[in-house]
Structure 1
Amino acid sequence: MITNKYVDEYIKLWKTGKIELNKERIMLICYLEKYILTRDDLYFDEDMLKNFIKFAERWYFELNPFQKFLAAFVFLFYKEDDAVFYEQFLWLMARGAGKNGLISALSHFFISPLHGIPRYNVSIVANNEKQAKTSFKEIYDVIGSKEVLEDMFYRTKVEIMSYDTKSIVQFHTSNAGTKDGLRDGCVIYDEIHSYATFDTVNVFSSGLGKVANSREFFIGTDGYVRDGFLDKTKERAMAILEGRELDDPLFPFICKIDDREEAHLPEKWGKANPMFEGVLTAYAKGLLKKVKTQYRQLKTNPSNRMEFMTKRMNFPEVDLEKSVATWEEIMATGFFVHELKAGETITGVAEKYSVLLETLKIDNKITHLTEVNVGDQLKIRRPVPNLKHRACVGGLDYARIKDFAAVGLLFKVGDDYVWITHSFVRKGFLDTVKLEAPITEWEEEGLLTIVEGPVIEIYHIVNWFVRMRERYGLTKIVADTFRLDLVKTALEAEGFEIDYIRNPKAIHSLLAPRVETIFAKHNLIFGDNPLMRWYTNNVYVKTKPDGNKEYLKKDEFRRKTDGFQAFIHALFKADEILIEEADFVLADINF
């Protein structure tokens, strides 16, 4: 057994009802009590922790109980070799929870003689320079305000160095190309909600390991980028909290409301922002007043609800007036999410969702009955039906031949629509426009093809449909008229029947109710296709004054929707073409 007064005090605050925690933090405490605090091969470095708390409270601010709780695990070590136990930390909280302040104090402490590791360099990384400089500037200003600190630390506008340890703090933007080769002891990734890929983390983490006790901190509030670094890290965190990944060196501290209705209850806001827990500091009282004002203004400014829910409640919520579907509905095109109930077995869950037991995977690992507990969220890969030789209708979006083009096949199996798709992306476009998407990764997964040349040539489109015709019952392709002559000549030459949509935007309003329904009822299957999820999440639903809807792009250049538009084209003709075999009767056949 290992103990620490700050850990014990924080857990006691919850157990005695003095603070209320969200589900993820309750799971964290249960995980710690079951798997970590019971170990005898670990120890909290009490002297180091005491020194940090004194350092932080002397030069920065008085630490709250939750901040001391977090700091304790930063200084948890193995007895055998004095190596850090937790190498990575996920601190996900609502805006205003003091993440940057705590990081400022920690970063400053890490380079100080109190930490005592020579050349323990710290890099602070964010998507833009202003955010990356937030903690750096705070350290810079603290040093400038105290003569004793100016004698201990050298500071410029770009780096801060300890004279004693020669350790340096620098800030960087997340552009991997700006990394200048520091042998880091610690990397802090700020605003992780905006990381669409793992590229930044991969580059900066590659410099770790050359200095003892390297650490990485992932901090931020939730955001609007889905299926990116943060979503995958949250999945990883849940695997830890559920006890399925006990060797993962990540410490996950996630603060959020448990239900959207709690946004109407200020007494529940401490679940998202731990500054609002227990006895409030002067800072917390002022912040709470500000958040309450923002909440009251939602009555007259409902357009700000999505921002309020995401940033103040750490509970991302889609504005269904402007988005095609919720993220949960988009995810359901590839995965089932099932909460294990008392008495249920993995076998029973597999039967319920018609998946084979050996293919039932959670976080891409085969999961056995003994590895899950009641209440665990099971993420089950949704099986794609056997589509060989089944009738389908092709969809094509070929409007912008200088960047993206998308092709696909739409099938109907029972009540479900199944969309198989591929995209072509011009390399020249990727070289000039930085997309917030893992394009190279998607190419490796076979979801798209990067092509050379000044345009995406039509033969790429034609060849794909020809190959698909060899596997499926494809005869008709639906496209808009933008490249009519080019598309018509090439596809009809291969024997395809082309159906043209003369006014693509006009069909959006006709299809909108059906699109909303099939997403809401989980009647749409993409398979595990992050590219198609990206396309769909990029769609902006514009409601015109006459009530008609149009599917546009949330960003004209960086948020592509081509795969979704190709799907819409196919869906427009689907019910005319896709007739279930059971619907055929003898009288329908022309002899």
Structure 2
Amino acid sequence: MRKDCIKKVTKQYKKLEVNPSGRDEFMTKRMNLPVTDIERSVATYEELKATKKEFPELRNLPAVGGFDFATTRDFIAVGALFKVDGDYIFKSHSFVRKEFVDRIYSYSKPNENVNGKRRFAPIREWEDEGLLTVLDEPSMDAQHVVDWFVRMRDEEGYEFQTICGDGYKMREYLQPKFEEAGFEVSWNGKFEEPLGYRVEVIRNFRAIDAQLSTVIEDSFANQKINFGDNDMMRWYTNNVLRHLKKDGNVEYIKKEDVRRKTDGFKAFEAAMFKADLLNEVDSTDFYDNLGWFMG
């Protein structure tokens, strides 16, 4: 009996090499040792560096959209999630309000350094790289979110299986805009509209932290996340603190409330909520087919 127990524990321990997110549960339940590091970054520096990979061809691939629209006064993030060769690929864009980035990040000041200190976030540099759009509006319009997804669908050819986001502010701001553009907004996951015109509301967004923590953290650890040449997404993710609650569930919180924005990560998380809708694509098959098509 003792040998069987040791064998079982050893097997579970070895699994941590591939699934490191299970460490806390293993230490608490199997080793009877309380976890003392209840807060840490969601991804290490090396794991974030590994997200910088070239994007494959994404046109005509199945995608899941994700957005974060928690506030209209500072940052909004949108993105499209794909799965190719086992990697989760996330192409994102942000909208930021000019008054906020002027006040917090000195966006309109020409110098790289402000008062002898390097800027906390290089907003102008990211704008020049096309990673964000600065909006001179008193409150950012939800139409920007809808227009981005329409453009990705119609111009970039992304085959959205669904688009996911928090229900907060949905009825008042986003739902009317989506519906005006021909989308169906569902609060129960059921749709009548075809693919490409579906928006699914995540009714309890906080609950998905615990639900998705294993797949997200294991994907970072195994270098299976691709943010492309988008340092803003790495900045967003670096601002996320993984907190282990007393009930043993994980929640993702900000390291600091004002300057350390996490909107892009939350948009990524929203898309990951329905990642099971993605049919994994083998890039070699794609290029084989492309070669055949081109004769």
User: Which of structures 1 and 2 has the larger relative contact order (alpha carbons within 8 angstroms, sep 6+)?
Assistant: 2
Contact kept in structure 2, 1:404 and 1:562, CA below 8 Å: yes
Between the two proteins, what is the percent identity of the paired residues?
Answer: 48
The residue number in structure 2 matching 1:503 is 204
Matches within 5 A, 1:472-511: 472-485=158-171, 486-494=173-181, 495=183, 496-511=197-212
Specify the alignment match of 1:407 in structure 2. Answer: 78
Q: 1:328: which partner in 2?
A: 46
Partner of 2:92: 421
Equivalent of 2:232 in 531, 537, 541: 531
Hey, what does 2:14 align to over in structure 1?
A: none
The aligned residue for residue 545 of structure 1 is: 246
1:264-303 pair list within 5 angstroms: none
Rounded to whole Å, the distance in 1 between the matches of 2:50 and 2:280 is 23
- Superposed counterparts of 1:344-423, under 5 Å: 382-423=53-94
Shift of 1:504: 0.9
Is it true that 1:557 corresponds to 2:244 in the alignment?
Answer: no
**Alpha carbons 1:412, 1:578 under 8 Å: kept:** yes
Question: Alpha-carbon deviation of 1:321?
Answer: 4.0
Partner-residue secondary structure (3-state), 2:211: helix
1:238-281 CA-partner distances (Å, limit 9, x unpaired):
xxxxxxxxxxxxxxxxxxxxxxxxxxxxxxxxxxxxxxxxxxxx
Could you list the per-position Cα deviations for residues 185-209 of structure 1 after superposition, in whole angstroms to 9, with x for gaps in the alignment? Answer: xxxxxxxxxxxxxxxxxxxxxxxxx
Residue 97 of structure 2 contacts residue 137 of structure 2 at CA under 8 Å; is this kept in 1?
yes
Aligned length: 218
C-alpha distance after superposition, 1:323-378 (max 9, x if no partner): 101110011000xxxxxxxxxxxxxxxxxxxxxxxxxxxxxxxxxxxxxxxxxxxx
Give the distance between the partners of 1:477 and 1:574, measured in 2 at CA: 11
Q: 1:320, 1:521 → 2: CA distance?
A: 22
1:580 and 2:280 aligned: yes
TM score, norm. by length of structure 2: 0.71
- State the 1:383 CA deviation: 2.1
The Cα offsets for residues 184-238 of structure 1, whole Å up to 9 and x where unpaired, read as xxxxxxxxxxxxxxxxxxxxxxxxxxxxxxxxxxxxxxxxxxxxxxxxxxxxxxx
The aligned amino acid for 1:478 is: C
Measured in 2, the distance between the counterparts of 1:502 and 1:464 equals: 23
Question: 1:546/1:581 Cα in 2 relative to 1: closer, same or farther (>3 Å)?
Answer: same
CA distance in 2, matches of 1:455, 1:520: 38
> What is the correspondence of 1:243-254 to structure 2 with a 5 Å cutoff?
none
**Contact residue 468 and residue 474 of structure 1 kept, 8 A:** no
Tell me, yes or no, if structure 1 residue 567 matches structure 2 residue 268: yes
What is the CA deviation profile of residues 476-507 of structure 1, one whole-angstrom value per residue up to 9, with x for unaligned ones? 21000111112112113323311111111111
Q: Gaps (5+ residues) in structure 1?
A: 1-301, 304-318, 335-381, 583-591
Instruction: Report what 1:231 is aligned to.
Output: none
Cα deviation for residue 320 of structure 1 reads: 8.5
Give the CA RMSD over aligned residues. 1.8
- Give the distance between the partners of 2:267 and 2:143, measured in 1 at CA: 17
Q: Answer whether contact 1:462 1:491 (CA < 8 A) is retained.
A: yes
Normalised to the residue count of structure 1, the TM-score between the two structures is: 0.36
Do the aligned residues in 1 keep the contact of 2:127 with 2:134 (CA within 8 Å)?
yes
| CA drift at 1:475 | 4.5
Change (3 A) 1:549 1:465: same
1:466 pairs with one of 127, 133, 150: 150
Aligned mates of 1:501, 1:561 — CA distance in 2: 18
Higher Cα Rg, which structure? 1
Residue 571 of structure 1: how far off its partner (Å): 0.1
- Unmatched 5+ stretches in structure 2: 1-34, 106-118, 184-196, 283-295
| 3-state DSSP of counterpart to 1:433 | helix
Counterpart pick for 1:516 among 217, 221, 234 = 217
Letter in 1 for 2:146: V
Aligned equivalents of 1:528 and 1:320: distance in 2?
31
Which amino acid is the alignment partner of residue 61 of structure 2? R
- The 2-side partners of 1:570 and 1:454 are apart by 28
Mapped contact 2:85–2:281 kept (Cα < 8 A): no
Q: Does 1:445 align with 2:132?
A: no
